[in-house]
Structure 1
Amino acid sequence: MTFTPTLSLYVARGFLLTTLLMLCALTGLVALFDFIELLRRAASRPSVGFDIPATIAALRLPFVAMQILPFAILLGGITAFWRLTRSSELIVARAAGVSAWGFLTGPGLVALLLGAIAVTGVSPLSSAMLARAERMDQSFLRTGGGMSSLAGGRLWLRQADRELDENGVAIVAGRPTAARPADPRDGFARFELKDVTVWRLSAGDSPLARIEAPRAQLTPGTWVLEEAVSFGADRMPTRPQRIELPTELTPGRIEDSFASPETLGFWSLPGFIEVLEQAGFSAVRHRIQFHSLLATPILALAMALLAAGFSMRHNRRGGVAQMIAGGVAAGFALFVVDRISAEFGEAGSLPVILAAWVPTVAGLLLALSLLLHLEDG
């Protein structure tokens, strides 16, 4: 394989430019439709002005760009490679002894770099902005919903409880009230439940005690239950008293556990998954999201190679339009496979790693097979 740095840099620069232009165009198009939908929903609410839908749409832009990136690389790569093929530049390079792998080195590295930047840099910003957009959407454009709509208005939480049993758990149930502002002394937002019931269980789910309280307040590291009545193994109630129950939960973690995994950035997901599982929540969706982010650079590389394989056919051989259309169809097919595998993963029918990595690996193998066929041909 002959490697020419000048040619690779030239192809990579054209690939990067067309990909960024395609990313901006597709992101703007999707954001426009999103903004129109937000305006339609806001039309039935006289108290909501033009600024609210505009702000929500703007906050969603990084998230939209993250979702669009693989398609932008595919379509941008098809455009860039088709222009080089149409002008016979790639034909001349290959006639001079430069193989496809030689001039694809630059675009491949660009695709990997774009995917890495999206995961490590854009993802934290995207998740923070998306979380704010969802809160605004919930506050201004939706009716009801949120944690208070679960299980008839009751919130159910599960956490470790090692006071009565080394591997015990506690199930806390109650009706959430509006969170109080953060205390200026410790910056901790106060979270309260009313009509609270706490079941304290052993590692084998055998009941150890039950606590009834009119209200419970979540403070840093502790549930504080006021006027709580405890029922032990003899089922005899104790006198109302203040009970403190250690916990690792915070108001933010409780809220995030019901939010979409996309509202958590790449660097925040591993720690949050650990806390989520310790608290007894299912972290399958968050694990799939984490592995999907890990696979993004490889998916970007697969899309770049797929674009090259479907657009390097010379005009004189015919069938150019069919090849380009095939590339677009293959990209959307990978998207469908990704959605289906994610659904199977969330349902528990597929292991998390398979659900997240199968579409990426399938796309990469398809692109490599096509390029090998073209080179041999």
Structure 2
Amino acid sequence: MIGTLNLYLVRRFALWLVIVTLGFGTVAMLGDFLEMLRFANRFNLGAGTAFYFTLHRLPLLLMDFLPFIFLFGSVFCLLRLSQAQELAVIRASGLSVWQFLKPLLVFTFLLSILIVLAVEPIGAQLHNRYTDKQAELTSQKSGLSFSTGGIWFREAIENGSYISRAREIDNAQMGRLLDLEIILLNRDGAFESRITAPSGEIGNGIFRLNNASIYRGTAIAKTVPQFDLPTGLVAESLADSFANARIINVWQLPGYVLAAGNSGIDVTRHQVRFQSLLALPILLVAMVMVAACFSLPTGRMFSTGQTIGMSVLSGFALFLFNDFIVLMGELKLMPAALASWTPALIALLLSISYLLTTEDG
């Protein structure tokens, strides 16, 4: 009997989650489509391109709405069960609030793990394609890339091109790169010379190498105090190009944080993003608990309208609190793990305390 009841509750809960997800998805898609349509019109692109952009952005947009989706899905599910007197029958059979909430909480936890491990990587990949296409249209594609070997970029110059590798960014001075190696290529793409330098600065359209050693074939290296190369990069782009943590999926984030941190790249946002993804299952479980706080006592304390209103207010308050704490983490005012886990744990503990007081006396 208990197994059948649990399955029934999970099915009802899943149905409401689907309904609420479709509602949020429709609103998010329409709003984002209008924004992408304005963007596409700037480049004389049609509605098809705008729709293509919207589809690529939609998975991560929906992930931003997940706390609200689970909050309202839980509220509507529990309200419907209460209005149909099904909760009254369940309680009369001797089951406590914790017993009939258990299948919903377990389902939420398992589903959220699946979202983090499978849906988020797909969303990150799609969003990455969108950002690449946007950068091409706006001519803001920096050419910067990162690997465990350092920071790489390629620049076209008058007589050919060059490929640059830097071991790390000097955080003490904006636009300064350390331990440089540059390969100069001619117009045909053939090797011309190799340049090494302990440091270099980017600024005013110039990439200036300090104490550069120039190697041409088998000749002895020639050392010059300074060697200038033209560049389209600006100092700020060195940091900004690696700032978007949303385009790196949860599987790649740990390795990226470790390697990029060793290269002098600021990875605070990436650390906060990774910890937030780890905390997502607890946050969504907390949303179900918050919904139960307002939905279970409906017949004694709140009307349906009041229940929905209180849920909206609590969800919005938690959303603002979460954004504030995450911002503090990104600004290094508190540790990334603390900033990411605090909202979820506070919401969970407060809702448990409330239910213990109201349901168990």
Question: TM exceeds 0.5?
Answer: yes
CA displacement, residues 221-242 of structure 1 (integer Å, 9 cap, x when unaligned): xxx993537699xxx9687315
Question: Do the aligned partners of 1:338 and 1:359 also contact (CA within 8 Å) in 2?
Answer: yes
Rounded Cα–Cα distance in structure 2 between residues aligned with 1:68 and 1:191: 44
Question: CA offset at residue 14 of structure 1?
Answer: 0.5
Which structure 2 residues correspond to residues 12-23 of structure 1 after superposition, within 5 A? 12-23=10-21
Query: Match for residue 29 of structure 1?
Result: 27
Q: Indicate the SS of the match to 1:93.
A: helix
Structure 1: 4+ residue segments shifted above 4 A: 155-160, 196-201, 210-213, 229-232, 236-239, 254-257
Distance in 2 between the 1:156 and 1:268 partners? Answer: 15
Distance 2:198 2:115 in 1: 53
Q: Provide structure 1 residue ranges, at least 5 long, that are not aligned to the other structure.
A: 149-154, 161-169, 180-189, 219-223, 244-253
Aligned to 2:352: 368
Query: Mean Cα displacement is larger for which, 305-314 or 99-108?
Result: 305-314
Percentage identity across paired residues of the two chains: 30
1:44 aligns with 2:42: yes
Taking a change above 3 Å as real, the CA distance of residues 284 and 225 of structure 1, as seen in their structure-2 partners, is farther
1:240 correspondence with 2:214 = yes
- CA 1:50–1:13 in 2, change beyond 3 Å: closer, same or farther? same
Confirm whether residue 145 of structure 1 aligns to residue 129 of structure 2: no
Mapped partners of 2:63, 2:167: distance in 1: 41
The runs of 5 or more residues in structure 2 that have no matched partner are: 186-190, 200-209, 222-237
Distance in 2 (CA, whole Å) between partners of 1:57 and 1:75 is: 24
Deviation at 1:112, TM superposition (A): 0.5
Aligned partner (choices 86, 90, 100) of residue 89 of structure 1: 86
Query: Number of residue pairs matched?
Result: 318
- RMSD of Structure 2 on Structure 1 (CA): 3.8
Q: Give the 3 Å change call, closer, same or farther, for CA 257–88 of structure 1 in structure 2.
A: same
Conserved 8 A contact 2:239-2:266: no
What residue identity is the alignment partner of 2:20? M
Give the letter aligned to residue 105 of structure 2: G
Q: Give, in whole Å, the separation in 1 of the partners of 2:34 and 2:271.
A: 33
Give TM-score scaled by structure 1 length: 0.73
Query: Is residue 73 from structure 1 mapped to residue 70 from structure 2 by the alignment?
Result: yes
The answer to whether the aligner puts 1:344 opposite 2:328 as a matched pair is yes
Change in Cα spacing, 1:313 to 1:279, as seen in structure 2 (3 Å) is same
- After TM superposition, the structure 1 = structure 2 runs for residues 54-203 of structure 1, keeping only pairs within 5 Å, are 54-140=51-137, 142=138, 144-147=139-142, 176-177=154-155, 192-193=163-164
Pick closer, same or farther for the CA change 1:102–1:282 going to 2, 3 Å. Answer: same
Contact 1:39/1:50 (<8 A) preserved: yes
Q: Which moved more, 1:347-356 or 1:364-373?
A: 364-373
Deviations 1:124-179 (A, max 9, x none): 11111110011112223x3x43437xxxxxx899999xxxxxxxxx9x8x985269
In structure 2, distance between residues paired with 1:128 and 1:104: 35
Deviations 1:282-304 (A, max 9, x none): 11111111110101111111111
Q: Give 1:280's match in structure 2, choosing from 253, 259, 264.
A: 264
257-266 vs 337-346, greater mean Cα deviation: 257-266
Contact 1:302/1:360 (8 A) holds in 2: yes
- The residue identity in structure 1 corresponding to 2:26 is G
In structure 2, distance between residues paired with 1:367 and 1:229: 60
**Residues 127, 238 of structure 1: alpha-carbon distance in 2 compared, 3 angstrom cutoff:** closer
- Aligned residue identity for 2:313: A
* 1:296 pairs with one of 277, 280, 292: 280
Shift of 1:330: 1.1
Secondary structure of 1:282's partner?
A: coil
